[in-house]
Amino acid sequence: MIIRWFPVILIPYPAVRGGCAVCFGGFEILIIGLGGVFVALDLGFSEDEAIFRKNIHEFFERRVAPSWVSIDERGEIPVDLLKELGKSGLIAMLVSPEYGGPGSSMVSSTIALEEAGYADPSLATAVYLLVSTAWPYMVQLYGSEEAKSEILPKVASGEGFFGIASTEAQGGSDIAGFRTMRASRRKDGEWVITGEKSIVGGMVDVERLPWGGGWFLITRSGAVDDRHRSLTTFAFLAKKDGKKVDGYEYHIMEEVGRHGVKTGSIRLSDVAVDDRYRLGEVNGGFRVAMQGFNLARCLVGAASVGAARWALDRGLDWLKQRNMRDRPLASYQGVNFRFADLYAELDAARLLCYKAAWLADRYYFKKDPTVSVNDIAVASACAKLKAPEAAFQVFQEVMKWHGGMSFFKDLPFHRGLLGVLAYLVGAEGSQNVMRYLIARNIMGPDYVPP
């Protein structure tokens, strides 16, 4: 049985103070404010988005679902599949056609990531797609024309990889406190970058894809005491046109799950990077990085929801089929009440993801002046906070419903559990950092200091 999900997105309307939201028919939100103000917003999926979901679901069911277990077991996504994902417009989804991308909206990208998580609950395919969506878009927004024209078409076609190199050993989520990766500017305009980043994904993909690729790289370009005011970001290419740069090396770390995308550390030793690869202003990289994380966290939430939907669908089938004392497990209140709680938690997390996506579309593509980067930051932090937690709970409970057999590889639920766990323990920002971001943006820096 497939659980149906209604396209309802609850969006607070800032112009109506003291209002409340009421859902009618699963498609419209009626916001009632003080003084008799009534505003109706149709926030359902458009016909094009519904068709897109159907087509993407069918594509993933045909090309990814039959092989996701073998991808996790072998530890890599086949290159031919990556190229097919590129040809299908599922890599660099936000990048405009001018630079080889499909020019998708954030809502459509979120739909795609939810379906990717459903087809590959280990989240390897989703991880590849989400980093290849959020971070190339930062290149489009803040890169030079030369960098955009060189990098984006190769990434969008599946010939190259572009992800995020952020984490440092002394503090993963404290971006303003980064100190290991240093960038110094030469008189000729080049930069020299030295340092190390850990928990970086995609090194093997850079190595094996024909063009190569690299990462959105966050460096310290000034004094550590200046924190977020002395960070500069680059589109660092470890390999391009099939040739690796001098001074670059990497080390693979062994993960407990989500094996299809290898993760490890990269080290740069006096690597020369031309200024045309700088993203944004000198010492202005913190703002650029935060925007990329906002988009990535929304997509992380969607992928986690998709994986959990896959598990909950199969859990529901099992509850109906498995009998105990001549009654299906689904008939026991201790089971069906827990199912109801999980369904509600997952649906709420899903709505938070689409709220963040909707706000991002309003800001980046519709240029809505009533939406700010901080609005997106709060919404995406809420999505990242709730979705992996809800998904992890789903996988835990579904494994309990299946009993001892779920501890063996014959059933693949452990693969999804471990995939979701990566986002629960810190990838794309720890859960407590999400709480900090929400509190600081809502309460203000006077009450929640940086």
Give the pLDDT confidence of 226-271 residue by residue, as tens digits: 566 789 999 999 999 999 999 999 999 999 999 999 999 999 999 9
Q: Is residue 17 part of a domain?
A: yes
- Domains in the chain: how many in total? 1
pLDDT for 241 equals: 94
* 433 close to 173: Cβ distance less than 8 angstroms: yes
pLDDT for 117 equals: 98
CA dihedral sign, ordered 252, 256, 261, 266: negative
- The C-alpha atoms of residue 258 and residue 73 are separated, in whole angstroms, by 9
- The C-alpha atoms of residue 96 and residue 128 are separated, in whole angstroms, by 19
Cα-to-chain-centroid distance, residue 429: 11
Mean pLDDT of 322-350: 95
- For 10, the domain range is 1-44
Counting residues of the chain whose pLDDT is more than 90, the rounded percentage is 78
pLDDT of residue 6 exceeding 50, the answer is: no
Closest CA to 9 of 42, 34, 32, 39: 42
Mean pLDDT of 372-401: 97
Q: Is residue 114 part of a domain?
A: no
Strand order in the sheet with 38-42: 20-24, 28-32, 38-42
pLDDT of residue 303 exceeding 90, the answer is: yes
Mean pLDDT of 276-286: 94
Q: Is residue 343 part of a domain?
A: no
pLDDT for 264 equals: 94
Mean pLDDT of 113-126: 98
pLDDT for 414 equals: 97
Tokens of 257: 């799950």
Q: What is the largest CA-CA distance in the chain?
A: 81
51 burial (CB, 10 Å; 0-12 / 13-18 / 19+) is: exposed
Mean pLDDT of 365-394: 96
Q: Is residue 184 part of a domain?
A: no
Q: What is the pTM for the complete model shown?
A: 0.88
Contacts of 310 (CB under 8 A, 6+ apart): 117, 118, 119, 121, 416
pLDDT of residue 151 exceeding 60, the answer is: yes
pLDDT for 221 equals: 80
| Predicted confidence band of residue 41 (pLDDT cuts 50, 70, 90) | very low
Cα-to-chain-centroid distance, residue 338: 28
Length of the chain: 450
Mean pLDDT of 121-134: 97
pLDDT for 180 equals: 62
| Predicted confidence band of residue 114 (pLDDT cuts 50, 70, 90) | very high
Choice between 352 and 184, residue whose per-residue pLDDT is larger: 352
Q: Is residue 205 part of a domain?
A: no
pLDDT of residue 297 exceeding 50, the answer is: yes
* 419 close to 201: Cβ distance less than 8 angstroms: no
pLDDT for 376 equals: 96
Mean pLDDT of 165-185: 69
Q: Is residue 367 part of a domain?
A: no
Rounded to the nearest 5°, which phi and psi values hold at 273? -130, 125
pLDDT of residue 21 exceeding 90, the answer is: no
Angle between helices 285-321 and 333-364 (to 10 degrees): 150
Tokens of 362: 């309003």
| Predicted confidence band of residue 15 (pLDDT cuts 50, 70, 90) | very low
| Predicted confidence band of residue 374 (pLDDT cuts 50, 70, 90) | very high
pLDDT of residue 301 exceeding 50, the answer is: yes
Q: Is residue 20 part of a domain?
A: yes
pLDDT of residue 447 exceeding 70, the answer is: yes
Site of tokens 């008189």: 187
Q: Is residue 11 part of a domain?
A: yes
pLDDT for 73 equals: 95
Choice between 449 and 187, residue whose per-residue pLDDT is larger: 449
Name the residue type at position 56. I
Mean pLDDT of the chain: 88
